[in-house]
Amino acid sequence: MNTRIALHRADCREVLPAEADVIITDPPYGVTKHGEMLGQIAPNYKEKGTHTRGYADHDPQAFSDLLRPAFDLMLRSVPKGGLMLAWCGNRTLAQMVSHAEYTGWQMLDLVVFTGGGSWAKSKSMLAPRHETAALMRRPGSIRNFNTDRTKTNHIHLPKTRGESDHPTTKPQTWMRAAVEAFTEPGEVVLDPFAGSGSTLIAAHALGRGFVGVERDTEFASIAARRIGEALRR
């Protein structure tokens, strides 16, 4: 089993490229003009009324300044043909994919995750019933990840909740399904926007190595704690 594991408390644009086989990540769905993740700006972001104004505060230029260099370094972190599964917000999916394509990633598919949902955030929005991730490839080679052709672009699993204090923790049910679908045992999974480490602990649970990067000190300590617990199991 591959035991290469690492977590960096850093800006991924400063520490990548890192040697990995596959990228599974969940970049911010939008950022303020200061480059901070939407909803995260206030130190007491968990309290009602202290959030940013959601997408009204999204700054496309700051989003580009974050994602273009990050995607460029991520491309150089995997071999030719290497895959990237990157979650994206429905409002900014087109922007995210265009930044990835600009840096050389090739779009393969959209993977839809269902099994959770909530109320609409406002009267002019739809109540969400799915989340979407872009499946992309570093061109130059082909990786056959669907040899029997039965894997689909829809993953339906109940969304587990309350797994960490990070405001956008992805459920282990979905993360394990993603690791299983797009990586092989012993490979190294890179998550440059690791948050509370959900990708990393799913990778570990399934016998993969991992490299994680998280810029925020509080979130990096949540990830370190969760990884420590997973390693002791």
Ligand X SMILES: C[S@@+](CC[C@H](N)C(=O)[O-])C[C@H]1O[C@@H](n2cnc3c(N)ncnc32)[C@H](O)[C@@H]1O
The residues that touch ligand X, with contacts defined as CB under 6 A, are 11-13, 26-28, 37, 66, 166, 168-170, 192-193, 195-196, 198, 213-216, 219
Which SS3 state, helix, strand or coil, does residue 65 take?
helix
Quote the DSSP letter at residue 29.
S
Q: How far is the CB of 44 from ligand X (least distance, A)?
A: 16
Please say which residue, 105 or 219, places its beta carbon nearer to ligand X: 219
Q: Which residue is nearest to ligand X (CB)?
A: 195
Please say which residue, 188 or 200, places its beta carbon nearer to ligand X: 200
Q: How far is the CB of 12 from ligand X (least distance, A)?
A: 4
Distance (Å, whole) CA 165 – CA 93: 25
Please say which residue, 81 or 112, places its beta carbon nearer to ligand X: 112
The CA distances from residue 153 to 7, 115, 147, 163, in Å, are: 29, 14, 15, 25
Give the gyration radius of the chain's Cα atoms: 17
Q: How far is the CB of 70 from ligand X (least distance, A)?
A: 6
Q: How far is the CB of 100 from ligand X (least distance, A)?
A: 15
| Alpha-helix residue ranges (DSSP H) falling in 42-92 | 60-75
